[in-house]
Amino acid sequence: MSYHVNGKTFSENPAAGQCLRTFLRELGWFGVKKGCDAGDCGACSVWLDGVPVHSCLIPAYRAEGLQITTIEGLAGENGDLHPMQRQFLDAQGFQCGFCTAGMIMTAASLSAEDIQGDLARHLKGNLCRCTGYHAIEDAIHGVKTVEEDRPGASVGTGVGAPAGPEVVTGKARYTLDTTMEGMLHLKVLRAPHAHAKIVSIDKSAALAVPGVHAVYTWQDVPRKLYTTSIHEDFRVDPNDTYMLDNIVRFVGQRIVAVVAESEAAAEEGCRQVVVEYEVLPAVFDPEEAMRAGAPVVHDTSGDQFIRQPERNILIDIHGGIGDVETGFAAADVIHEATYGTHRGQHAHLETHCSISWVDEDGRLNVRTTSQSPFICRDKLCYLFGLGLQNVRVFCDRVGGGFGGKQEVLTEDLTALAAINTGRPVQWEFTREEQFSASTVRHPMQTTVKLGATRDGTLTAIQMRVVSNTGAYGNHGGETLYHACSESVGLYRCPNKKIDAFAVYTNTLPSGAIRGYGLTQTLYAVECAMDELARALEMDPFDLRQKNVVRPGDPMLSLGEEASDTEIGSYGLDECATQVRDALARGNGVAAPPGGDWLTGQGIAYAMHDAAPPTEHRSEARLRVLEDGAFELAIGTAEFGNGTTTQHVQIAASTLGTVADRVRVVQSDTDKTGFDTGAFASTGTFVASKAVWLAAEALRERILDFAASHTQVGRDMCRLDAAAVICGEVRIPLGDLLQAAETSGHQLALSRRAYGSPRSVAFNVHGFRIAVHRVTGEIIILQSVHAADAGTVINPMQLRGQVEGAVAQGIGWALYERMVIDETGKVVNPQFRNYRIPAYADIPRTEIFFADTHDTIGPLGAKGMGECPINPVAPALANALEDATGIRFHDLPFRPDLIYRPIFEKHGMATA
Amino acid sequence: MKPFDFARPDTIAAAVALLDGRDASRPNRSALLAGGTDLLTLMKADLYAPELLIDIKRLAELDNRIEETAEGLTIGALVTLSQLEDDPRIQSLVPALAEAAALAATPQLRHMATIGGNLLQRPRCWYFRKPGIHCWLKGGDDCPARQGENQLHALFDVSPCVAVHPSDPATALLALAASVRLRGAAGERELPLAAFFAPPTDERRQETVIGNDELIVSIQIPAAAPGTRSTYLKAMNRKVWAFALAGVAAAIHMDGNRIAQARLALGGVAPVPWRAESAEQVLTGAEPSPEIIARAAESALASAEPLAHNGYKIPLAKALVRRALTRLTAPAFPGA
């Protein structure tokens, strides 16, 4: 048998039961990705005889004799990019890039007619979670959005990502895009019960499976409590988790890990493990869990962090300012309602995975997909009792995160197995594990009570939040604090009261996800503000404008204590005006004809701290290289958020050069300084600040040395693209470096930045929608978003961040829904049943940036990683009420969940 | 996936001989592999673990062509959904089928998926697809969807299983009065689609009556009266690439301004593609009007028995029926 791949012939034979995707990867074609392994996402798309197919659903044998083309074979033999690859580069039609190879393979197979025609239909087999599809659409249509870089002027320009050429050619390396001699594979057996005690585990049959090396149970792992949650400050999460436990707290919890020569053998090993459970009563609803007599998820023997174990309360928060009773007494109008938000999954296309091995020096190495290699390292050191010097954790390119990878979910077990077996060990989550056993957005029930005088002045805000943290408390406390801060701090009001609870239940754990708890409560507050405006017969913009915080105002929520948060720049008014004007202008898109469509519009505001209240720091190391370029070493991981591009832009601008001349070494505990992690919107606010400080300092050092070296006045020295110019003399930087080293000077230094004080970012979203009066189908006619990110470092990338967040917001608000049955099982753990938006689903959003300059952030910039998702769901809810006259309090607004009241109110007209 | 062997027989007879119809003690031993788009997902989810895959995609005796004769169209079992979507004869003679094929799955899947396999695909019910849930269709005692999360499930209660049939083309073919030609060890037989699909029973927990030793050779669509119009409409949760919440296929033949013949089929509402005969009776002989169309839509759903969470499908399906019939009976129908 022979296989023809990208013009080369291979005589290797596939293994029994192997699909084409894994076979191609074994042959070294790592451009073929796994997003779902089920024909849903398209990341594995290749051509068979020129026709795109999902390689995950083709037995490898079947491709025998056919011409197989992967992304690596798309470019010409001389390395010339295929036009579609060039277009994806020119429009930066990617963020993390994990879907890109498949997306390009599909796009490159389309005719001009297909592209001009029904592109949505042709693209329906390829999902992207990062971009919101606008940049992909631009790429396919040949629109160029990447801008030319000029020396010293990189900031403010739409410079392309440094990894772009690797991403579009399939050469970018993600976590598992590597081979290692002697690799073993790990799989876990997961719990079938929501709450149980393990009575016994018999692993003998599993150990007898050919190829199985080891089977680990709770008796084989360090008996140390920890949390999977990644924070530098370990005191903000409960230590309530064991690597493997003898108590089961949710369906899907890891029970036994099996390590074998192949994934198939490890899976077979899992099937052969016999576990005897004593099933315990379980509780799924947080209100029930707080009642006396409810099953207890974590008993009093656990971490003292847990406030009231017997009532399943992980943490409760009570605070406020003034006196709400006085406030409500002074109100002319009071509105009160409860708003429910559901679970949502990150659905990054690269699932969790890691490879661990012990090197010849006895050090543990971990290659992982993480938003924080440093904190991951610290956790592994703690779990295995290792010194920091004995562990290296690093990330190559990461395929999307959105908070899901602010968690240690695989590294502990691969490390254990690597230490134990002495072999490299790999573990890759299936998509099903991603849905049923990683983390989700905390479901929250938020009751909001607002009081206002007739003129719209708020007199009291009261909020009660019940957050379902699931079986474990990772991120349960911090998301709750975040939920209680900006949501209420956004509005000026003398009287505020907040009571909030994070509650354990026997459901899969909630965790960090874009918005981090605030998305849920802002949804509630912004819906309530809209309903209050209706009750007052006021324009919803006017009511908000009357009450929002203004520059100089303290942003108060839980109390009057001093805060490190300030309004470093204020673009909220401008954002509101932009959205208001755009909606008033309209965009010419009307509801479909026929009189069956109800139309309406809605808006919402959002405010988001530019960094977390917990510790956040980053170190940038910068040096001149022998060839006169610069090397920037920074701990921040790149998972499509674009921080690497910003870092090189900031360094280049400051050092008078172009971004191409700044080479990045990143996210490796051996090679860079400490970085808390790429989360909490800190890539710009903290890490970029470190880069900026380092670049400023290095520029001064270069100029100082050049002045003394050339004996030219310091004020006559300046940097150009590749040299220092001192009066009439031009010294290439490489030469200057040599001179410096000869004379014992270092053209290298590092600077650190710290995430305090913190600024705030603002966003406003507006929708005009049509709702079918019979079926409840929603069509978005116009979508408008305005963002205040301070100085825009890269307008193209910032637009991409906003578009991606808006698309995730639309998916969460309209149809993504994790269904958990009465036994606690996730019943829809696949993309076929948990729908994330496709290209066809996402309207083109009009995007505006406020023209502000932040006084705290680097070069006046502040982060925009999360905040744009926050106003999306409430703006849709408000538009839905405007269209139908009905307030829907609970997300999502899927036709099957909302049609009935709409039909009862409007359906009888002609039906 | 568990390891499997791979065979590529040269004849249908050889392929059938490899099937394990007569070895009831090892029902999972072998499986036919055509496009593989459903089989591989079942295998990867550990729901099915055949030891032998019999590749029939390159079988010379099985056709991947579409032929037109005086009797109608013959569609070889290996014709892909992309072929159906793009073929000018399918587009002009039976547009409902071209539309249904285009609305199904993704382009990548349509390049791979065959029409034979499409008719034989298993339900997408999340309980059925979830390993570890031993539902009735997989040989268990109960259907967890009946009392569970059944928003995507059947409106017509005709089987212990309330999963819906996932195929779009099957609904279109039912409205087009198609039949299926099967060949097995005992020879060849032809069954109307209405008899080929049958709600699962205790004795036969599958959606068709195909024998364990049979395969689909072709699909026949009888020639319709000249001027017959057809269409397929589908409602989804997402705009594209989702299984039908409800699908409607209709074929109408007008005689002057009266409906001479009507065939109406619904998808996404029953364990098998669902023919709405009572609605056809309302339409036959009638002059189309909004009232007649509304009556037909009511009649098509009259015997629906919604479960706890799928009641929304009733107005949805009615709206689709009205939309399809309005379109097909419009005087200005394209091509009329």
What pairs with residue B181 in β-bridges? B190, B218
Q: What is the dihedral of CA A285, A288, A294, A300, to 10 degrees?
A: 80
Query: What's the rounded Cα separation, in Å, for the pair A375 and A398?
Result: 16
Instruction: HSE, CB side, 13 Å, CA atoms: give it for residue A48.
Output: 25
Contact A16 B309 (CB under 8 A): no
What pairs with residue A784 in β-bridges? A766, A846
Which tokens in the block code for residue A464? 């009660």
Contacts of A107 in chain B (CB under 8 A): none
Q: Which of residues 145-204 of B touch A (CB under 8 A)?
A: 148-149, 151
pLDDT the model gives residue B235? 83
Residue A108 vs residues A112, A127, A145: alpha-carbon distances, Å: 10, 16, 19
Average pLDDT, chain B: 91
By CB neighbour count within 10 A (0-12 exposed, 13-18 middle, 19+ buried), where does B9 fall?
middle
User: Which pTM was predicted?
Assistant: 0.92
Length of chain B: 336
Distance from CA of A528 to the nearest CA of B (A): 27
How many CB atoms within 10 Å of residue A81? 16
Sign of CA dihedral A357, A361, A362, A368: negative
| Chain A contact present for B240, CB below 8 A | yes
Contact B4 A17 (CB under 8 A): yes
pLDDT the model gives residue A349? 98
Nearest to B132 among A38, A62, A192 (CB): A192
Query: What's the rounded Cα separation, in Å, for the pair A66 and A50?
Result: 10
Distance from CA of B48 to the nearest CA of A (A): 13
Contact, A87 vs A139, CB < 8 A?
Answer: yes
| Chain A contact present for B291, CB below 8 A | no
Contact A903 B315 (CB under 8 A): yes
pLDDT the model gives residue B236? 72
Q: B293-296: list long-range contacts, CB under 8 Å, 24+ apart.
A: B293/B321, B293/B322, B293/B325, B293/B326, B293/B329, B294/A911, B294/B322, B296/B262, B296/B264, B296/B321, B296/B325
Contact A264 B4 (CB under 8 A): no
Instruction: Say whether A758 sits in a helix, a strand or coil.
Output: strand
Contacts of A265 in chain B (CB under 8 A): none
CB-based contacts of A585, cutoff 8 Å, min separation 6: none
CA A507 from chain centre, in angstroms, equals 22
Distance from CA of B149 to the nearest CA of A (A): 7
Contact A903 B126 (CB under 8 A): no
Distance from CA of B191 to the nearest CA of A (A): 30
Contacts of B310 in chain A (CB under 8 A): 896
Q: Using 50 as the pLDDT threshold, list the residues of chain A that sit under it.
A: 910-911
Contact, A617 vs A375, CB < 8 A?
Answer: no
Contact, A254 vs A499, CB < 8 A?
Answer: no
Contacts of B151 in chain A (CB under 8 A): 896
Distance from CA of A125 to the nearest CA of B (A): 4
Instruction: Say whether A365 sits in a helix, a strand or coil.
Output: strand
pLDDT the model gives residue B336? 42
What pairs with residue B263 in β-bridges? B251
Q: What is the dihedral of CA A592, A597, A601, A606, to 10 degrees?
A: -90
DSSP letter at B19 equals S
Contact A815 B238 (CB under 8 A): yes
Nearest to B239 among A37, A126, A840 (CB): A840
Instruction: Give the amino acid at A148.
Output: E
pLDDT the model gives residue B61? 86
Contacts of A774 in chain B (CB under 8 A): 315-316, 318-319
Q: Given the structure tokens 């998301």, which residue do they identify?
A: A479
> H or E segment at A902?
helix A895-906
DSSP letter at B38 equals T
How many CB atoms within 10 Å of residue A811? 26
Query: What's the rounded Cα separation, in Å, for the pair A465 and B29?
Result: 55
Contact B36 A62 (CB under 8 A): yes
Residue B104 pLDDT greater than 70, yes or no? yes
| Chain A contact present for B22, CB below 8 A | no
Query: What's the rounded Cα separation, in Å, for the pair A167 and B206?
Result: 45
Domains and CATH numbers, chain B: 1-336 (3.30.465.10)
pLDDT the model gives residue B237? 65
Outline where A273-401 has alpha helix (H).
286-290, 324-329, 373-384
| Chain B contact present for A17, CB below 8 A | yes
Query: What's the rounded Cα separation, in Å, for the pair A513 and A347?
Result: 10
pLDDT the model gives residue B243? 60
Query: What's the rounded Cα separation, in Å, for the pair B36 and B55?
Result: 9
| 3 state SS for A695-725 | HHHHHHHHHHHHHHHHCCCHHHEEECCCEEE
Please name the residue of chain A whose CA is at the shortest distance from the CA of residue B245: A896
pLDDT the model gives residue A829? 94
pLDDT the model gives residue A529? 98
pLDDT the model gives residue A651? 98
Contact, A314 vs A238, CB < 8 A?
Answer: yes
DSSP letter at B263 equals E
pLDDT the model gives residue A910? 44
Contact, A619 vs A749, CB < 8 A?
Answer: no
Distance from CA of A488 to the nearest CA of B (A): 34
Q: Mutate one of B239, B295, B313 to test the A interface: name it (highest A CB count within 10 A).
A: B239
CB-based contacts of A579, cutoff 8 Å, min separation 6: A603, A764, A765, A766, A784, A785, A786, A848
Please name the residue of chain A whose CA is at the shortest distance from the CA of residue B241: A124
Residue B333 pLDDT greater than 80, yes or no? no
Q: Which of residues 32-91 of A touch B (CB under 8 A)?
A: 37-40, 42, 45, 51-54, 56-59, 61-62
ipTM: 0.77
| Chain A contact present for B130, CB below 8 A | yes
Residue B241 pLDDT greater than 50, yes or no? no
Q: Which of residues 422-461 of A touch B (CB under 8 A)?
A: 432
pLDDT the model gives residue B332? 66
Distance from CA of B237 to the nearest CA of A (A): 7
Task: State residue B117 phi and psi, 5-degree precision.
Answer: -65, -35
CB-based contacts of A662, cutoff 8 Å, min separation 6: A629, A630, A631, A632, A647, A648, A651, A652, A655
Closest CA to A421 of A352, A369, A364: A364
Outline where A226-357 has alpha helix (H).
263-272, 286-290, 324-329
Length of chain A: 911
DSSP letter at A760 equals E
Domains and CATH numbers, chain A: 3-169 (3.10.20.30), 184-280+346-437 (3.90.1170.50), 308-344+440-561 (3.30.365.10), 570-608+760-911 (3.30.365.10), 617-754 (3.30.365.10)
Contact, A460 vs A324, CB < 8 A?
Answer: yes
pLDDT tens-place string over residues A485-498: 999 999 999 999 99
Which tokens in the block code for residue B292? 């007649």
| Chain A contact present for B1, CB below 8 A | yes
Contact, A2 vs A65, CB < 8 A?
Answer: yes
Distance from CA of A58 to the nearest CA of B (A): 7
Query: What's the rounded Cα separation, in Å, for the pair A643 and A398?
Result: 13
